[in-house]
Structure 1
């Protein structure tokens, strides 16, 4: 029985009793009645700080717990996803899992507990706090709150359960729960399990899950194939990854940008920059618009292979299509231009990047300034201004010690 397996792993299922007493939140009411007296100065109405602001500013875990509990019926708080997530995250960070259990179990007994969407949020919040047993129990006990189960709440519980990395519990939950509760699995269920198995390194089981579900009439989508292809490429089993790519095409499931990026990443990692560039061209021919990740990978591939002319061609093509470079592209360009000794061009990219509040790494900054110093293109005063500019910005990961070291090295005679 699934329940016995899960009980053995996660303990007994708690049964929450009656809800906590309602805490009314009555506002002060000021009435100005005419009682024959005139010209009476009325005191200004004192407006309480909004509950969401109080929750955000409260740092004491116990006070935060009491404040949230006092607003259990406040729709402004209850319906605010950020307020829930922020409160649970901070309580989990403080190690007050008892407070989290109290708050969420109380919420389940209130009227909102009859909505599946709300229960899904509770399940995911338990997952955020790594309280896997409570998340699974919440799914089991949904009928106690008058809430109907569907594949959506099943997927939420399954996703949290995969955090346990317990293979037997995941398999039994996937196998038995749909039958027990009359739930029909969908492609999202399969993708959750496949992703978990890939992360666990069980690639054969991940592939078999896709095959088995296809027999049951659940057709894999592009996310299914992309997840498997990425995992097999990462495991250096490129024959299987390429086979999955071909299988995906034969099944009529066209790759998207993420799928192309996975394959381009593999080609770049194996120093096949020209093949990566051909795949980039194939994307355009297929009507798929490459993104910043695609261009960054191809630029990195040509840069590491020493083809700086192709680097600039790809970069110019990227800009010509109306795309704007992001921080990673700037970092890649600066790093490899410095490696190739193109310090003037790297300096131009560096200034452009910094004007957009994107700062290269400490190593890249040091190599750039050191290279300019050796070329005699940057005097001591300019270097000092540059370093002090970085210091004033207080940009992570630049620390005072790192700036001092850089300054002493660059300004030494």
Structure 2
């Protein structure tokens, strides 16, 4: 068979991803003289209806009506279903009435059953009954599908009598009932607890030569299990094959669910062994039944073992599996175990509910697992999830060693300039604090404090004083007075490999008195191929040279110690990729304001490493020493600074002086290219806000 010739319009429409452009594409082809046919109209109508662009659908229908274009019934059947899904039953009824009149399309029983089902699903009972009764006038001969729709509608309303009348009418008109007809009634009777009536209907079904399918038996088994007749339900399952119906997974699932509900886990495991003997492989639903039971019973470790076992046996967990296990660990307050499953879950491209994220994060903070909790917060941020106010308040409180002590200390220091503090407040809260106070509050929060007061929350009013105290860190690369120097980095030439700490010896001879390293291969000259790449906290590399004995301190490269730019690398190579692994040691100033020469707060000493291949993450470890205490008071920080994000979180690992025993976290924001008139190097400005308890 030869392949069908592709239709240009359909090819273009398939590639179009913006629903707002579907109709424009149609008109553009019309303007070029392209003649559309039925497949074009059918595809366009389907895509517009699926995208809920019903105004554009009406435009297409007007075009079909005015040009008297002959269309197939499937176009309208699909449209009626989409109208029904959006609750537009009236418009669906209008379109059905116009078929064969305004539109050049022949109606059949298939479109009649479609509109009947739309009315039933939208709880338009009277309209459905009227349409069903008018079928002979409309020249439609009802079939089993028509009766099944009406029976289903009455059963969903809980009206067994009317459903039975429709069934009796079906038999009177000699319309052959299908297995669906019986299944809907058997399921209703079992849910109502009338299992014996369901069994009689099942026997009547068999007497009339209609075999049940696996759904029929599963419905009967559910009814028997619900009434405490498990052994009888099991017998029904084993009789299936005798009556010509193969046992399906859903039948075992009914028994497994009942055993799990009653806590008979050993019997449930025996059932799995029995399935294996019959060469029936359990699916993820069956494993989820057992895992769900273990989690509800507080046996998260058993649930985890089953999670591992199902993967060993070739069954892939789904999102529900992982969520139950993570929630199970959180329920027993094993948050490290929950985090372990969370990592596996995200690796499988599944994600928990925001409630699970919140519970896990709070639990980790309570257990003092700050780094792990920050990891959870970062993952939430990646997925644009956020904690609610109550969760944030809980985290702040739990991260405090003694709430009363912290609150009392804040009250003591509120009237004067003190260390950075944090006060949680709800909507409408009024807070007065000293300079440097950080307040997280809801809408309507009013804060009166010193300059440097930071408010996070809804609409807030801030009244700062006329003096300033802010925590800003100035990191300067290159120039005559650099505060950061790259000590290791990517080197492409083995001649200087010996300059990298702990590197394997490669023949390079290091100079003694400011000489040039020598090497038999190329003389060991430092050149464009081996200089360590410079990258600041901004993750951005500029053409900057490090200080060379006070000479050539210029931005833009310098003789004898060149700095690379993107034009000097092969195609496809980026500076960010080459910066991966660069370590930079810094001794940065901390100031009250953005300006480099503003009031000195202290010093920050440590190092950072470019720890992502795209150059957007820096792993930082440093200590901040405050000048006000003669540099005796200090705080230590560790974490990952993500330059591509608006804000990063760093863990406070402890402190000295009056900050002994301090813990908490800090937020860091990066400002690149700031205040370049104050230094001939490249400066990155880091704003740090503390959430501190000690």
Bin of the TM-score, shorter chain as denominator length = 0.7 to 0.9
Partner of 1:408: 396
Of 109, 120, 126 in structure 2, the residue corresponding to residue 116 of structure 1 is 109
Partner of 2:127: 134
Runs of at least 5 residues in structure 2 that lack an aligned partner in the other structure: 1-25, 401-692
Of 144, 151, 156 in structure 2, the residue corresponding to residue 163 of structure 1 is 156
For residue 220 of structure 1, give the secondary structure of its aligned residue in structure 2: coil
Larger deviation, residues 167-176 vs 49-58: 49-58
Deviation string 1:165-185 (CA, Å, 9 cap, x unpaired) is 2211111111122322x2122
User: Following the alignment from structure 1 to structure 2, what is the Cα–Cα distance between the partners of residues 355 and 118?
Assistant: 46
Of 86, 92, 99 in structure 2, the residue corresponding to residue 90 of structure 1 is 86
Checking the alignment, whether the CA contact within 8 Å between 2:190 and 2:222 is kept in structure 1 is no
Matches within 5 A, 1:257-272: 257-272=249-264
Deviation string 1:229-249 (CA, Å, 9 cap, x unpaired) is 223333545465345445546
Give the 3 Å change call, closer, same or farther, for CA 361–185 of structure 1 in structure 2: same
Deviation at 1:191, TM superposition (A): 0.8
Give the 3 Å change call, closer, same or farther, for CA 89–310 of structure 1 in structure 2: closer
Partner of 1:175: 168
Of 352, 358, 377 in structure 2, the residue corresponding to residue 387 of structure 1 is 377
User: Following the alignment from structure 1 to structure 2, what is the Cα–Cα distance between the partners of residues 184 and 171?
Assistant: 15
Give the 3 Å change call, closer, same or farther, for CA 28–239 of structure 1 in structure 2: closer
2:229 pairs with 1:233 = no
User: Following the alignment from structure 2 to structure 1, what is the Cα–Cα distance between the partners of residues 347 and 307?
Assistant: 19
User: Following the alignment from structure 1 to structure 2, what is the Cα–Cα distance between the partners of residues 173 and 322?
Assistant: 47
User: Following the alignment from structure 2 to structure 1, what is the Cα–Cα distance between the partners of residues 252 and 270?
Assistant: 11
User: Following the alignment from structure 2 to structure 1, what is the Cα–Cα distance between the partners of residues 33 and 399?
Assistant: 62
For residue 217 of structure 2, give the secondary structure of its aligned residue in structure 1: helix
For residue 376 of structure 2, give the secondary structure of its aligned residue in structure 1: helix
Partner of 1:14: none
Partner of 1:316: 308
Deviation string 1:321-352 (CA, Å, 9 cap, x unpaired) is 32221111111222223445543332121122
User: Following the alignment from structure 1 to structure 2, what is the Cα–Cα distance between the partners of residues 69 and 236?
Assistant: 57
Of 282, 286, 289 in structure 2, the residue corresponding to residue 294 of structure 1 is 286
Partner of 2:510: none
Checking the alignment, whether the CA contact within 8 Å between 1:88 and 1:100 is kept in structure 2 is yes
Partner of 1:8: none
Matches within 5 A, 1:295-374: 295-305=287-297, 310-340=302-332, 342-374=334-366
User: Following the alignment from structure 2 to structure 1, what is the Cα–Cα distance between the partners of residues 167 and 350?
Assistant: 45
Checking the alignment, whether the CA contact within 8 Å between 1:384 and 1:407 is kept in structure 2 is no
Give the 3 Å change call, closer, same or farther, for CA 74–236 of structure 1 in structure 2: farther
Partner of 2:98: 106
Give the 3 Å change call, closer, same or farther, for CA 65–165 of structure 1 in structure 2: farther
Of 212, 221, 224 in structure 1, the residue corresponding to residue 213 of structure 2 is 221
For residue 314 of structure 2, give the secondary structure of its aligned residue in structure 1: coil
Deviation at 1:261, TM superposition (A): 1.0
User: Following the alignment from structure 1 to structure 2, what is the Cα–Cα distance between the partners of residues 297 and 314?
Assistant: 11
User: Following the alignment from structure 1 to structure 2, what is the Cα–Cα distance between the partners of residues 29 and 337?
Assistant: 57
Deviation at 1:194, TM superposition (A): 1.5
Checking the alignment, whether the CA contact within 8 Å between 2:186 and 2:202 is kept in structure 1 is yes
Runs of at least 5 residues in structure 1 that lack an aligned partner in the other structure: 1-26, 32-42
Give the 3 Å change call, closer, same or farther, for CA 82–118 of structure 1 in structure 2: closer
Give the 3 Å change call, closer, same or farther, for CA 116–307 of structure 1 in structure 2: same
User: Following the alignment from structure 2 to structure 1, what is the Cα–Cα distance between the partners of residues 390 and 142?
Assistant: 56
2:179 pairs with 1:187 = yes
User: Following the alignment from structure 2 to structure 1, what is the Cα–Cα distance between the partners of residues 372 and 303?
Assistant: 29
Of 199, 209, 212 in structure 2, the residue corresponding to residue 207 of structure 1 is 199
Matches within 5 A, 1:42-57: 50-52=44-46, 54-55=48-49
Checking the alignment, whether the CA contact within 8 Å between 2:179 and 2:210 is kept in structure 1 is yes
Deviation at 1:309, TM superposition (A): 6.1
Deviation at 1:262, TM superposition (A): 1.3
Checking the alignment, whether the CA contact within 8 Å between 1:303 and 1:311 is kept in structure 2 is yes
User: Following the alignment from structure 1 to structure 2, what is the Cα–Cα distance between the partners of residues 272 and 278?
Assistant: 10
User: Following the alignment from structure 1 to structure 2, what is the Cα–Cα distance between the partners of residues 331 and 51?
Assistant: 39
Give the 3 Å change call, closer, same or farther, for CA 125–111 of structure 1 in structure 2: farther
Aligned residues: 365
User: Following the alignment from structure 1 to structure 2, what is the Cα–Cα distance between the partners of residues 51 and 317?
Assistant: 48
- Name the structure, 1 or 2, with higher relative contact order (CA <8 Å, separation 6+): 1
Deviation at 1:288, TM superposition (A): 1.5
Checking the alignment, whether the CA contact within 8 Å between 2:73 and 2:105 is kept in structure 1 is no
User: Following the alignment from structure 2 to structure 1, what is the Cα–Cα distance between the partners of residues 202 and 225?
Assistant: 17
Partner of 2:466: none
Partner of 2:565: none
Deviation at 1:360, TM superposition (A): 2.6
Deviation at 1:190, TM superposition (A): 0.6
User: Following the alignment from structure 1 to structure 2, what is the Cα–Cα distance between the partners of residues 356 and 329?
Assistant: 12
User: Following the alignment from structure 2 to structure 1, what is the Cα–Cα distance between the partners of residues 73 and 284?
Assistant: 38
User: Following the alignment from structure 1 to structure 2, what is the Cα–Cα distance between the partners of residues 28 and 310?
Assistant: 61
Checking the alignment, whether the CA contact within 8 Å between 2:364 and 2:372 is kept in structure 1 is no
Checking the alignment, whether the CA contact within 8 Å between 2:366 and 2:398 is kept in structure 1 is no
User: Following the alignment from structure 1 to structure 2, what is the Cα–Cα distance between the partners of residues 66 and 319?
Assistant: 50
Larger deviation, residues 309-318 vs 276-285: 309-318
Give the TM-score taking structure 1 as reference length: 0.73
User: Could you say which structure has the higher helix fraction?
Assistant: 1
